Amino acid sequence: MIGITKAQFYHLLPVFERAYHAVQQQRLDSGEIKRIPKGGPKSHIDTFEIKLFFVLYYLKTYCTFDVLGTHFNLSGGNAHGHITRLLPVLQLALEYLNVLPKNTIKTPEELKQLIDLEGIILMDGVECACVRPQDKDQQKASYSGKKKRHTLKPLVASTTTRFILFVSLFVPGSTHDYNLMKQLFDPAMPWFDDVQVFLDLGFFGAAKDYGDSAKINLPHKKPKKSKANPSPELTADQKKENQIHAAIRVAVEHAIGGMKHFHCLMHRIRNHLDMVINSFFRISAGLWNLKITV
């Protein structure tokens, strides 16, 4: 029902409570609220246990706010209000537990520090369906020729143990995976001189663009058919190397599949606020990291 086990839920619960008080204090300091509520009428989700269950249930099932409210004796508007307030709390709690992936990496040194001792990173794009935008330009930008529907896409980086280290801010689905990588990691900088990165053929050309010093691992590409080579085939050694490469890189596919345990990424994304959609990607990745470490 909520995507994590009972033990993981109660491991997260006290940290969630601490994050809730921290977010309330931030709201008070910023002037968003005039005082921290301590009394008044009780809500139907008045305990931290229910609050955490409520927000996890939403991310796992991704039902409409009317349905969510019905399940918890709330109106659709109240359900929306609670989710808006609780998503930042859950995100902060996952950050406290050191399982929330980063969404920005500014320097090669920061990337190297993130990888730590392993020195290997696996990257791939995650494409999730979204509602069809009303604006014509946005509609064109988000239409994915690959998926034949409107999508949103971030870039995900994981370790070989399936732990997700990085989830970028999303871009429209028409953006190619490799173009997104070049936007995030400028080829003019030595991003991968000290870090090995494993990519699929969607990133073909990375070895050339990032220079000979970059440790970029790509599978062998099958030669094009021509008159001189009417039946192109990879050699036995190339096929074996591709199998080894795939066996290493499959960890990032498993990590992406773990993110999609939460149906906020499996179903068509109905939310329109960029901040909320980005939190879906990061929180889902953080919850997956929690699942494999606790």
Q: What DSSP assignment string belongs to 85-152?
A: HHHHHHHHHHHHTT-SPBS---SHHHHHHHHTTS-EEEEEE--EEBPPPSSHHHHHHHEETTTTEEEE
**Could you tell me the two tokens for 291?**
């699942």
Phi (first) and psi of residue 58, to 5 degrees: -65, -45
User: pLDDT by residue (tens digit) across 29-41?
Assistant: 888 888 887 777 7
According to the model, what pLDDT value does residue 27 have? 86
With a cut of 90, say whether residue 213 has pLDDT above it: no
Given the DSSP bridges, would you call strands 171-172 and 149-153 parallel, antiparallel or unpaired?
Answer: antiparallel
Are 202 and 125 in contact by the 8 Å Cβ rule? The answer is yes
According to the model, what pLDDT value does residue 229 have? 78
According to the model, what pLDDT value does residue 200 have? 93
Instruction: Give which of 220, 294, 215 is closest to 5, Cα–Cα.
Output: 294
Distances, alpha carbon 171 to alpha carbons 126, 143, 277, in Å? 10, 11, 11
With a cut of 80, say whether residue 42 has pLDDT above it: no
According to the model, what pLDDT value does residue 183 have? 94
Are 79 and 69 in contact by the 8 Å Cβ rule? The answer is yes
Describe the crossing of helices 48-61 and 274-293 by its angle, rounded to 10 degrees. Answer: 100
**Could you tell me the two tokens for 139?**
């509609």
In whole numbers, what is the pLDDT of the chain averaged over residues?
92
pTM > 0.75? yes
The number of residues making up the chain comes to 294
Helix (H, G, I), strand (E, B) or coil at 214: coil
User: What does the pLDDT average to over 238-254?
Assistant: 95
**Could you tell me the two tokens for 232?**
């192109």
According to the model, what pLDDT value does residue 117 have? 66
CB burial of residue 85 (10 Å; 0-12, 13-18, 19+): middle
Are 62 and 276 in contact by the 8 Å Cβ rule? The answer is no
